[in-house]
Amino acid sequence: MQQFDEATRTELEAAAFRRLLQHLDKNKDVQNIDMMILADFCRNCLSKWLVSAAETRGETLSYEEAREYVYGMPYSEWKALYQPPASPEQMAAWDAHHAKKKAAKQG
């Protein structure tokens, strides 16, 4: 992407981010815990990254505002509609993921 000027690169990155949000919106069955286990990020991480980006630019964006943007609705509503409790298998995978990360930091 070196051939693009900074404004064009930023526009392309923003378009890709919006496409990611659309993809996640169309795949509500993909649970945050599964994303965390497989990719070490989730919708909440994206929300936190937006807040951080705003702060870096001297802008104010609350975590709840960012989550509403990422989820396309208030988080409490999304959670009630689309987020079932984690299964025992998901929790076991999450625990194993955390243990592996902890070991890697110590090693």
**Amino acid letter for position 62:** S
Instruction: Choose among 40, 48, 86: nearest CA to 67.
Output: 48
At the topology level of CATH, where does 6-106 sit? SMc04008-like fold (1.10.3340)
pLDDT at 1 over 90: no
pLDDT category at 19 given cuts 50, 70, 90 is very high
Q: How far apart are CA 101 and CA 94, in angstroms?
A: 11
pLDDT category at 101 given cuts 50, 70, 90 is confident
Reported as a single tens digit per residue, the pLDDT across 40-98 is 999 999 999 999 999 999 999 999 999 999 999 999 999 999 999 999 999 999 999 98
Q: How far apart are CA 47 and CA 22, in angstroms?
A: 14
**Amino acid letter for position 54:** A
**Amino acid letter for position 29:** D
Token reading at 33: 């815990």
pLDDT at 107 over 80: no
Q: How far apart are CA 8 and CA 17, in angstroms?
A: 14
Rama region for 40: left / alpha / beta (φ>0; ψ in -120 to 50; rest): left
pLDDT score, position 2: 87
Given a contact cutoff of 8 angstroms between Cβ atoms, the answer to whether 96 and 89 are in contact is: no
Give this prediction's pTM.
0.88
